[in-house]
Amino acid sequence: MSDTAQLDEGSGSTFTSVAAQRGPLALEAVSLHKDFGLGRHQRLHAVRDVSFRLYRGAVIALVGESGSGKSTVAKLLAGQEHPTSGSIVLDGEPVSLSSRRAFRRYKSKVQLVFQDPFASLNPAHTVHYHLKRPVVLQQGKAKRDVEQEIDALMTQVRLTPAEQFLGKYPHELSGGQRQRVSFARALAARPSVLLADEPVSMLDVSIRLEMLALLDDLCRHFQLALLYITHDIASARYLADEILVMYAGQIVERGPAEELTQQPAHPYTQLLVASAPDPDNLGSSLRQGTSRSGRPPEVASTALEGCPFSARCELAEDRCRQESPSLRQVSPVRSASCWRLEVAAPQVLAGRQGGKGGEKS
Amino acid sequence: MTFGGNGQLPSLGGRAMTPGTDQANVALDICDLSVVYRTPAGDVRAVDGVNLALHSGEVVGLAGESGSGKSTLAYGACRLLRAPALITNGSVHYQGRRSAEPVEILQLRREQLRRLRWREIAIVFQSAMNALNPVLNVRDQMLDVIYAHLKISKRDAAEKVGSLLDLVGIPRTRLRSYPHELSGGMRQRVMIAMALATDPEVVIMDEPTTALDVVVQRDILAQIVELKERLGFSILFITHDLSLLLELADRIAVMYAGQLVEIGTAEQIHHEPSHPYTKGLLNSFPSLRGPRRELAGIPGSPPDLHRPPPGCRFLPRCPYGTQACARIDMRLSPVSTSADRGHVTACPFVLPDTPVAPRSQVLGLTSTDERGTTKVPSQEPPENPPSGYVPGDVAERVLVDGSPPDSLDGSHLAALDVEPSRGELGT
């Protein structure tokens, strides 16, 4: 795995992230690895060789099934876990979280929003307290300014009138309102990077869109670099500029959201897209009762050799089981890690300009 | 407690059941069911006069937001609710293929009910993570079910457990596994296998795949459909994911604030949604295929069911709402533009005898409202609400139905701006 060619966006490669057009580079993950010990010399390779860049004002979506390592990536970036190897670069400087002070400074720049708004707010504290602490700790404002700042935050997440909500406890709020408080709390530190780990999956369908629109709005307004982690590739299509698809700890495909969802190249992405409910297809395979998917991998047992998806892939051949593929460029803005792209996605390769120029070595 | 109920007036098309379908074919027939939760602050009317029929071999989807009363309806129909929930009205008839006479579930004695449950009506509960007993292995908890409901020898029971696991595609080596050793998808499959252990006629599935990711979800749903075809049970499928139901269900019932607001086949709901709430739900899903649509969602939150707003409960959030909506008792009645009288909606601007005008015109909207505008001849918008709409204020209307509910005094007419308040109901 260590000799796997690394996707290097800047130097030597023609790969460009579509998100780069939005704004300056904020946070960079460089070849992150994270292993967890399972006892008896077993290792779980939760994250393997993951690299990407977050740009200010852009939304990058990290899509994958549960157990694919997407939340571990968020924890690594948030500094809650230490990578086994690899590094994180914030605003051009490698991040070292050895001291508490460094960690706090990093926290003020990189904030995390959790999935469950019911669990991520302290039930014993009011909304006001939840917002006041980060404002005081991270911004060090004078007392009068603090209240002003809190009011501004509440307005930004559209919890108005603020007085009506500030005195309330989390249990007095609806799920959507709680998640808005979580957003406000994250923004209170004036971060440049926001990591949102399944921010809407616990919310009601009717308000999910509202929350995604709010996220999008906040991202543009504050020039946030947003990492949107989700298992719902359809919402990623609407919110994100670029989508990274993760499988068994690796990024298996990346590209502009619209292109990737409409013409998925990697067999796993194709399975993911095919599995999404399709209301237009009323006489679908589902009603006929035919299953077209396999089982997710037992990540712990997935060998380091070979493509992790090979066990479920219809196109897998001997090479797929022996050598692990690395991300290979299929267009200036897309890449996928699959040995059999010619078979899996001929139409994507056909659209590629300039022959094999993009292939990495 | 019948305010807002469906089909009280014979002139309005009667019951919400699919007319024209074979009455004898109905496996589960929920009539005018009302459930309240008794709280110190007053009754929460979680289910309010709901009529729904499930035919044998059919998949009926029940869709709605959390707190709309979907689960309460299903559990109420099986008498699985505990205090402070209270069934205040209605009847639930069950007719199985094995039993000659239909039974009234709400009238059954304890022992009769025990025999009916699981044997005839089984439930796959929400969140399989918590519904399995963590200290029993898969085999033991499945045996529990089998011994409790079937007279069967030890050897046969063990064999049955094995074959049930085969049925849902779990290797028999997992028989001795404990729930925590199984993945989410496997636990859900175990739940389904357990529900099918006694060969029930009706399976109620309460959000069985919500916690799973799409690939596993699809796998399990395909399996459910396959089993349904093979074993011939009927399914009441509860979910908030309408896009999933469109693919899976034969008929879909949309629930809002304790009432059904629209029933129709999947095609009808998809292509000609007739209630603004259904439209809102349909518009809440980012679609993966086709052109990127402008998505809206539904602003606002469901009403506080302690004191539901008079008239249409969706009015505070309805983009098409008018003053008149606050004074109309919303009942399900056939959609005029639909040939099938089984397609019913609670929005009265599509009553059967209404001069067919697109609702967008009736309500003075722009033509962005796509339903009907192409199908119906254009016509001058009527100045008055359409015929079939019975004028008169709420109090009168309620008296016609019988009991005037106490919470419907004039103050609530003014207080239409419903305070966002949720969570009283649980899901």
Query: Pick the residue with more confidence: A43 or A5?
Result: A43
Q: Kindly state whether residue A151 falls inside one of the protein's structural domains.
A: yes
- A304 pLDDT tier (thresholds 50, 70, 90): low
Point out the domain boundary residue: A246, A262, A278.
A262
Q: Kindly state whether residue A236 falls inside one of the protein's structural domains.
A: yes
Residues of B in contact with A275 (CB under 8 A): 214-215, 217-218
Residues of B in contact with A278 (CB under 8 A): 243, 247, 288-289
Whether residues A59 and A126 fall in one domain: yes
Which residues lie below 8 Å from residue A346, measured CB to CB, with a gap of 6+? none
- Three-state DSSP class for residue B404: coil
Checking if the pLDDT of A287 tops 60, the result is: no
pLDDT in tens, A144-170: 888 888 999 999 898 878 888 899 999
Among B188, B238, B247, B293, which would you mutate to test the A interface (most chain A Cβ atoms within 10 Å of its Cβ)?
A: B247
Whether residues A202 and A309 fall in one domain: no
- How far apart CA A189 and CA A174 sit, in angstroms, is 24
CATH of the domain at A76: 3.40.50.300
| Cis peptide upstream of residue A117 (ω within 30 degrees of 0) | no
Whether residues A31 and A142 fall in one domain: yes
Please give the DSSP secondary-structure letter assigned to residue B117.
B
**Is A295's CB within 8 Å of B65's CB?**
no
Point out the domain boundary residue: A236, A262, A288.
A262
Checking if the pLDDT of A35 tops 50, the result is: yes
Q: What is the pLDDT of residue B355?
A: 34
Checking if the pLDDT of A113 tops 80, the result is: yes
Could you tell me the sign of the dihedral formed by the alpha carbons of A297, A303, A307, A311, in that order? negative
Residue-level pLDDT, tens digit, chain B, 427 residues: 333 334 333 333 333 444 444 555 889 999 999 999 998 888 888 898 899 999 988 999 999 888 888 889 999 998 888 888 899 989 999 988 877 788 898 888 888 888 888 888 999 887 766 788 899 999 999 999 999 888 889 999 999 999 888 888 888 888 888 988 887 778 888 998 899 888 899 999 988 887 677 887 888 888 888 888 888 899 999 988 888 888 889 999 999 989 999 999 988 888 888 888 988 888 887 878 777 777 777 877 788 888 888 888 888 888 887 778 888 777 787 876 667 778 888 887 654 333 333 333 333 332 333 333 333 333 333 334 443 333 333 222 322 233 333 333 333 333 333 333 333 333 3
Of A175, A275, A282, the CB nearest to B270: A282
- How far apart CA B333 and CA B320 sit, in angstroms, is 19
pLDDT in tens, A71-98: 889 999 998 888 999 999 998 888 888 8
| Closest to B246 measured CA to CA, from A5, A289, A197, A284 | A284
User: Distance, in angstroms, between B280 CA and closest chain A CA?
Assistant: 8
Q: Kindly state whether residue A111 falls inside one of the protein's structural domains.
A: yes
* HEC letters along chain A: CCCCCCCCCCCCCCCCCHHHHCCCEEEEEEEEEEEEEEECCEEEEEEEEEEEEEECCCEEEEECCCCCCHHHHHHHHHCCCCCCEEEEEECCEECCCCCHHHHHHHHHHEEEECCCCCCCCCCCCCHHHHHHHHHHHHHCCCHHHHHHHHHHHHHHCCCCCHHHHHCCCHHHCCHHHHHHHHHHHHHHCCCCEEEEECCCCCCCHHHHHHHHHHHHHHHHHCCCEEEEEECCHHHHHHHCCEEEEEECCEEEEEEEHHHHHHCCCCHHHHHHHHHCCCCCCCCCHHHHCCCCCCCCCCHHHCCCCCCCCCCCCCCCCHHHHHCCCCCEEEECCEEECCCCHHHHCHHHHHCCCCCCCCCCC
* HEC letters along B70-97: HHHHHHHHCCCCCCCEEEEEEEEEECCC
Amino acid at B374: T
Q: Does the predicted interface ipTM exceed a cut of 0.85? A: no
Q: Kindly state whether residue A286 falls inside one of the protein's structural domains.
A: no
- A125 pLDDT tier (thresholds 50, 70, 90): very high
Whether residues A257 and A301 fall in one domain: no
Separation in Å, CA B198 to CA A303, A351, B168? 41, 55, 15
Inter-residue contact B16 to B263 (CB < 8 Å): yes
**What integer is the mean pLDDT of A132-136?**
88
Whether residues A233 and A301 fall in one domain: no
Q: Kindly state whether residue A4 falls inside one of the protein's structural domains.
A: no
Q: Model-level pTM greater than 0.90? A: no
Q: Kindly state whether residue A3 falls inside one of the protein's structural domains.
A: no
Residues of B in contact with A158 (CB under 8 A): none
Amino acid at B372: G
Structure tokens at B292: 């990127």
Give me the half-sphere count of Cα atoms (radius 13 Å) on the Cβ side of residue B79.
Answer: 21
Whether residues A42 and A139 fall in one domain: yes
**What integer is the mean pLDDT of A332-341?**
89
Question: What are the helix (H) ranges across B12-109?
Answer: 70-77
- Three-state DSSP class for residue B324: helix
Mean pLDDT rounded to a whole number for chain A: 82
- Three-state DSSP class for residue B411: helix
Q: What is the pLDDT of residue B54?
A: 92
**What integer is the mean pLDDT of A305-326?**
85
Point out the domain boundary residue: A206, A239, A262.
A262
**Is B301's CB within 8 Å of A207's CB?**
yes
Inter-residue contact A246 to A62 (CB < 8 Å): yes
**Is B297's CB within 8 Å of A207's CB?**
yes
Residue of chain B minimizing CA distance to A235:
B286
Q: What is the pLDDT of residue A55?
A: 93
Whether residues A258 and A317 fall in one domain: no
Whether residues A238 and A304 fall in one domain: no
Residues of A in contact with B275 (CB under 8 A): none
Beta bridge partners of B39: B42
Structural domain count, chain A: 2
Whether residues A196 and A326 fall in one domain: no
* Residue B31: its H or E element: strand B26-39
Inter-residue contact B51 to B105 (CB < 8 Å): no
Percentage of the residues of chain A whose pLDDT score is greater than 70: 85
Q: Kindly state whether residue A312 falls inside one of the protein's structural domains.
A: yes
Whether residues A115 and A223 fall in one domain: yes
- How far apart CA B318 and CA A45 sit, in angstroms, is 50
Among B215, B227, B294, which would you mutate to test the A interface (most chain A Cβ atoms within 10 Å of its Cβ)?
A: B215
Whether residues A148 and A221 fall in one domain: yes
- State the residue range of the domain holding A208: 20-262
**What integer is the mean pLDDT of A335-347?**
87
**Is A205's CB within 8 Å of B247's CB?**
no
Whether residues A357 and A214 fall in one domain: no
Q: What is the pLDDT of residue B29?
A: 92
pLDDT in tens, A40-58: 777 788 899 999 999 999 9
- Distant-in-sequence contacts of B6-9, Cβ < 8 A, 24+ apart: B6/B32, B6/B49, B6/B50, B6/B51, B6/B259, B6/B260, B6/B331, B6/B332, B6/B346, B7/B32, B7/B51, B7/B331, B7/B332, B8/B331, B8/B401, B9/B331, B9/B390, B9/B400
Q: What is the pLDDT of residue B234?
A: 93
Q: What is the pLDDT of residue A23?
A: 86
User: Distance, in angstroms, between A202 CA and closest chain B CA?
Assistant: 9
Residue of chain A minimizing CA distance to B228:
A289
Q: Kindly state whether residue A282 falls inside one of the protein's structural domains.
A: no
**Is B214's CB within 8 Å of A286's CB?**
no
